[in-house]
Amino acid sequence: MSADDAWDALNDALAHTTPACEGRVLFTADRLSDDQRALCKSICARCPLFDLCDAYAITAKVESGYWAGHSYSPKGRK
């Protein structure tokens, strides 16, 4: 699957489903504490879009934000 295909699938799902992270600035913060990462991970774990989000993050090689239970930065996935 290409990054474009993964984005299209995620975007289509977002048209019908609200992600658990919507409106939470933690998911776009530059730096997170261990407690904040744990909170994000728990929010992601119950999100119905987890698999689509994860597929996009991996195929697009995102470099920032918190996607599908993982923190991304230019240094890589945590």
pLDDT of residue 41: 94
Domain encompassing residue 38: 3-77
Question: Who has greater pLDDT, 53 or 26?
Answer: 53
Residue-wise pLDDT tens digits, 3-37: 999 999 999 999 999 999 999 998 888 788 999 99
Whole-structure pTM value: 0.86
Q: Say how far apart CA 70 and CA 78 lie, in whole Å.
A: 6
Q: The tokens of 63 are what?
A: 């470099």
- Computed over every residue of the chain, the mean pLDDT equals 91
Question: Who has greater pLDDT, 40 or 78?
Answer: 40
Q: How many domains does the chain have?
A: 1
Q: Which residues are CB-neighbours of 45 under 8 A, at least 6 positions away?
A: 69
